[in-house]
């Protein structure tokens, strides 16, 4: 079975940039957040969200993700309720994906809440992407067209950088694209050497 390398980082840290760079080097990367978004609109989840959070969270037979985000990121209990619906389905989907990629010596599982969801325990090693908080806030405000307050609310629902660093095997400081790629190259070399 392939080794699972977890890839995580706080919102706006640059996980996707690192994930895409790994993909360009032929490494299979599972993007948990993208899969969760797709799972979110399956009939079974739409029905569970309607039951758990009310009719107003559904628009045109789809989950109104923006409305739901405003609710859950302001209330840890509601976020936990949503995670209970989504996480088991993402876990099941990842296990299927892993079986389809078992010919690779290692695969990468990218997840924003790898630690918070407990799925870091299923990883053999973990890469953490960090960036200065001010940079992260600006990136997300620009990328998602949301307010700074909403970004900070999301950050407050994630573990601190210190907590994540303590459990990570590799740490990428994402300041400039060129430097970030160099750091990824070093990690890739180390991962390849471990399979020899």
17 known ligand binder: yes
8 known ligand binder: no
Contact call for residues 109 and 123 (beta carbons, < 8 A) = yes
State the CB neighbour count (10 A cutoff) for residue 50.
Answer: 15
168 known ligand binder: no
Q: Is 96 exposed, middle or buried (0-12, 13-18, 19+ CB in 10 A)?
A: exposed
15 known ligand binder: yes
Q: How far apart are CA 68 and CA 130, in angstroms?
A: 27
Q: How far apart are CA 190 and CA 195, in angstroms?
A: 9
Contact call for residues 85 and 48 (beta carbons, < 8 A) = yes
DSSP code at position 14: S
Non-local (6+) Cβ contacts of 172 within 8 A are: 9, 14, 18, 127, 128, 129, 130, 180, 183, 184, 187
- In degrees and rounded to multiples of 5, residue 148 shows phi and psi of -60, -40
List the one residue out of 98, 91, 111 whose CA is nearest residue 16.
111
Residues of the binding site: 12-17
Residues of the binding site for ATP: 12-17
């Amino acid at each position: 079975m392939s080794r699972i390398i977890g890839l995580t980082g706080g919102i706006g840290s640059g996980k996707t940039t690192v994930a895409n760079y790994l993909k360009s080097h032929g490494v299979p990367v599972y993007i948990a957040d993208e899969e969760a978004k797709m799972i979110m609109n399956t009939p079974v989840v739409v029905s569970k969200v309607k039951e758990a959070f009310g009719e107003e969270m559904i628009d045109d037979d789809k989950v109104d993700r923006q409305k739901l985000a405003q609710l859950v990121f302001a209330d840890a209990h509601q976020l936990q309720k949503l995670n209970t619906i989504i996480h088991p389905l993402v876990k099941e989907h990842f296990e299927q994906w892993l079986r389809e990629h078992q010919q690779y010596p290692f695969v990468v599982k990218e997840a924003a809440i790898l630690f918070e969801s407990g799925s870091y325990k299923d990883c053999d090693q973990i890469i953490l992407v960090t960036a200065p908080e001010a940079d992260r806030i600006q990136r997300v405000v620009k990328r998602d067209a949301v307010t700074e307050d909403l970004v900070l609310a999301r950050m407050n629902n994630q573990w601190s950088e210190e907590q994540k660093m303590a459990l990570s095997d590799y740490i990428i400081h994402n300041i400039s694209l060129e430097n970030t790629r160099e750091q990824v190259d070093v990690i890739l070399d180390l991962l390849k050497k471990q399979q020899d």
